[in-house]
Structure 1
Amino acid sequence: MKQWLMILYVILGFSLYGCGGSSGGGNSHTQASLRVIHAGADAPKVNILANQSALVDGLDYGESSGFKQVASQNYNVKVNAQLPDQTTPTVLTEDYDLKAERNYSAIALGSVADNTLEVLVVENADSAVASGYVRIQAVHGSPAVPTVDVYVTAPGDDVNTASPTLTLSYRQFSDQLSVPAGDYRIRIAPEGTKTVVFDSGTVPLASGTDLLVTAAPNVYGGNTTSPVVLVAASGSGASVIFDQTTGADLRAVHGVADAPAVNVVLNNSATPAVADLTYLNESPFLQVPAGTQDVTVNVPSLTTDVLKDVPVPLEQGKFYNAIVLGSVDASDAFDIELLPFEEDRRKVATEAKVSLVHGSVSAGTVDVYITPTADISSASPTISNFAYKQTITGVGLMPGEAVISVTPAGSKTVAIGPLTVNFEGGKLYGAVAQDAASGGAPLGVNGFDELN
């Protein structure tokens, strides 16, 4: 614990840098504005208090608090880290003097794992955006990406004949740029090259738009070639702009104990996206277009599809699993069906992240225990009444050794486990509770990632 607190103390120490622009001229002569932007890809959620009042609660990666108007005065600021054991230790207490008619954007940058996370504060004068114009300020916030040229052009302009709008290295930020409202395209290339590594496609910017845009590490699904996303912070929040080629990631899982190998077909393609997938196995993540994918599951030796054109909606930048569950046995009540669910796969250095699926047709409703030892006699379930087809994802656990035990709901009789796991911060652990290969007991798990 002491090690993590020291890391977080270093992470969240504020350094003031500044000059530039505004939140839109909304401050009185006695007020300042402050917002916090989370661009630390492996950092936990944070709470921030100013003079004992909550300023930000549970701010996650890719989010912004939006501007909070506060009296211009000295503030005692506390930063609390949200840890998986439900504690929120104060890791920083400092005083800051916020000036009237000034806006402060505190941006978390860097990496917890590399002990490089810090907060960069950009200070701007408060002024309104001119009518018919938009205002943009850019920040290079991706530590693994070298110095880049940024092109802000009309959507149809050829980048090969364009001059860079900006050149920025890590932690540098631009002045605020005022341009006429309209459609724009943002492209990023290594300095001195035309090799585009990020392409926003067409971005419509309405009159009065005022954005601080941070190029942050891409830890999202659907694109492994673009190293960054753009966290576009307005006065009220933030949105993530993806490279225009970004889709979603989809993984297929065979969870039918008494079924043979299957093919998984997307959108009636003549070629299976996944071929000959056997029980207790899963495909790699497949990058597919965002939108609705029609999923068909068939057995190669049969002419009738097991599942036909099951619509699965997929959002840009997200990860999904599609698990084939049920039983071939017509005498039971478990028809074969597709269970799609979104998975939280952002790695956080201060926690191990767990995703679980109940896929056993024989187990009934269960309780899941995650305990320091195999003794659960006096323990309460970590997850109670976990029913067939239920999923959980993104459950954070403190790093260290723990024991997983699964029992029938309300019982202390272990049906799966006990399984001892050394949970490591910054890693993912996934499992599907399943029947034996021929169905029924002994029950077991199909493990993913660090449990594979």
Structure 2
Amino acid sequence: MGDVVSGLSNVDYQQGSPLLTVDAGSHELIVRGLLANDATDDVITRNAINLAPDMQYDVFAVNNVRDIEPVILSRSNEVPDDQSIRIDVLHGHPEVGGVDIHVTTDPSISTDTIAVSDLTFKEDDVNLPVTLPAGDYRIRITLAGKSTDADVVYDSGNIALDGGSDLMVTAVPNVSGGAVSPVNLLVADGSTVNVLRNTGENSTVRVGHAVADLGDVDVRASGNVVPGLDSISYETIKSLDLAPTTYDLTVTPSGATTPEAIKAPGTTFLAGSETTIFAVGQFTAQSIEPIVIEDDLRSIASYAKLRVVHANPIAGTVDIHAAPTGIGFSADTAVLKNVNFKDSAVLNVNEGNYDFAVAEAGTTNVLLTTTDVALAGGNVATAFATENSIALNVDK
């Protein structure tokens, strides 16, 4: 069992390394999945991978978890001159058929703008990489054989590709918030890996109501009710995809413009982002405020993700307990300790049925419970402690 490669520990989806220098010769490749409760599983193992001198290799883990596999692309270790760019492309979406890649400066696409045609999943196309003059380009993707602007399923917008750039571009499933295109592009330049999104992407915004003495509420943007974020009841969460821009937001009782329980002018949501906003505090005490969480709602097949939020304004510091259903709570079942009001955290939980409790910090004096909560691999859920209960929202 070899050592973890420097810079390649805890690698999340859509992340990668810079180019690494390794000795030529035979190597073993292991990709180790990180599971709940610090468990691991070697999901990819390949022995005797021969790496030749003076070559560049790009190694990818692709496909869904049940079918995960490596793809290794090789090309000469040459750097383009300062007037040129070199682009290699990998089709990394297992559920999308062959595609045409259009790399052009033209405002519209046609059969003449195809740089790579009918590229299929995992394919190492003989025409790749391609070398082009440096300059401004738009990368657009269509299903193979489709060559009109209406057929475009991904559009990078205009991007400047500087001379000497040597790029590895990978189309991967788009699981970001507000997804419109089926893919994101991962662009590796040898030093960093960046996510290049389709120009038409949205953002996902979720609003949770945790104010016990306030009835249903509406979210307003510039004074107007946001359809889909209206009539939000206590202990519920509503979700909506919004255009990525800046909003002047307020929260008011449903059907009324005043009082404004929360004012949040200049709130910006970025393309692909997932933001959860909880209204917490007490209406009569005029202490309502937002908890704003930059969220990650991507499903993980091997375990459930549970976000826990302390939204109870009358409870002090607490411990969060989780135990298999019927086992009971003890000092050993505390999974989050010394949690303050407005704190949140994400727990990775194995599939099963669980009892959850909020207890005074350092004790088993239980304040709130919820029992027999079923969580399965791939679930994404939110549990938020209010004055009255532990409210649960299963997002996925």
**TM-score, normalised by the number of residues in structure 2:** 0.90
- SS in structure 2 at match of 1:379: helix
Is residue 151 from structure 1 mapped to residue 77 from structure 2 by the alignment? no
Residue 212 of structure 2 is matched in structure 1 by 257
* 1:448 maps to which of 390, 393, 396: 393
Deviation at 1:110, TM superposition (A): 0.7
Moved over 6 A (4+): none
Is the Cα–Cα contact under 8 Å of residues 281 and 287 in structure 2 kept in the other structure?
Answer: yes
Q: Deviations over 1:403-428 (max 9, x none)?
A: 32221111102222252233211111
Does 2:172 align with 1:216? yes
Change in CA separation of 1:298 and 1:314 when aligned onto 2, cut-off 3 Å? same
- Does 1:141 find its partner at 2:92? yes
Residue 204, structure 1, aligned to residue 160, structure 2: yes
> Per-residue deviation at 1:188?
0.9
Task: Report whether the alignment pairs 1:390 with 2:335.
Answer: no
- Measured in 2, the distance between the counterparts of 1:150 and 1:117 equals 25
User: Corresponding residue for 1:245?
Assistant: 200
Which whole-Å CA distance do the structure 2 matches of 1:158 and 1:93 have between them?
43
1:215: how far off?
Answer: 0.8
Q: Which residue of 2 aligns with 1:278?
A: 233
Query: Over aligned residue pairs, what C-alpha RMSD do you find?
Result: 2.1
1:222-259 superposed Cα distances (whole Å, 9 cap, x missing partner): 22x31111111221231111110113111122221101
- Residue-by-residue CA offset, 1:62-118 (whole Å, 9 max, x unaligned): 011121101112223333221222133445362322111111111111101xx2221
2:19 match:
67
Aligned residue among 301, 304, 325 for 2:280 = 325
Moved more, 308-317 or 242-251: 308-317
Report the counterpart of residue 401 of structure 1 in structure 2: 353
Q: Which of 181, 189, 197 is the aligned partner of 1:234?
A: 189
Match of 2:38, SS?
Answer: coil
Aligned residue for 1:77, secondary structure, equals: strand
- Once the two structures are aligned, what percentage of the paired residues are identical? 28
Decide whether the 8 Å contact of 1:265 with 1:296 is kept in 2.
yes
Judging changes above 3 Å, is the alpha-carbon distance between structure 1 residues 93 and 213 closer, same or farther for their aligned structure 2 residues? closer
Q: How many residues align?
A: 385
The 2-side partners of 1:343 and 1:261 are apart by 24
8 Å contact 1:254–1:277 — kept in the other structure? yes
User: What is the one-letter code of the residue matched to 1:298?
Assistant: T
Note the C-alpha offset of 1:376: 2.5
Match of 1:124 in 2: 75
Between the aligned partners of 1:140 and 1:109, the Cα distance in structure 2 is: 10
Q: Which runs of 5+ in 1 are unaligned?
A: 1-48, 436-442
Assess if the C-alpha contact under 8 Å between 1:353 and 1:396 holds in 2: yes
Q: Which amino acid aligns with 2:95?
A: A
Deviation at 1:291, TM superposition (A): 4.2
Q: Aligned AA for 2:247? A: Q
Matched, 1:289 2:243: yes
> Which residue number in structure 2 is paired with residue 17 of structure 1?
none
**Residue deviations 1:322-375 (CA, integer Å, cap 9, x gap):** 111111123xxx711122111111111111111111111122221011223533
Q: What's the CA shift for 1:293?
A: 2.7
Q: How far off its partner does 1:446 sit? A: 2.2
Aligned to 2:377, what secondary structure does the other structure show? Answer: coil
- Return closer, same or farther for 1:96/1:62 CA change in 2, 3 Å cut-off: same
Q: Can you list the C-alpha shifts for 1:165-194, whole angstroms capped at 9, x where unaligned? A: 212111124411111211111111112223
Q: Is the 8 A contact 2:261 2:283 kept in 1?
A: no
Quick one: which amino acid aligns to residue 361 of structure 2? A
Distance across 1 between alignment mates of 2:355 and 2:166: 50
TM-score by length of structure 1 reads 0.80
Aligned twin of 2:121 = 170
Q: Provide the C-alpha distance between the structure 1 equivalents of 2:395 and 2:270, rounded to a whole number of angstroms.
A: 26
Matching residue within 136, 142, 145 for 1:183: 136
Separation in 2, partners of 1:70, 1:139: 22
2:279 alignment partner AA? V
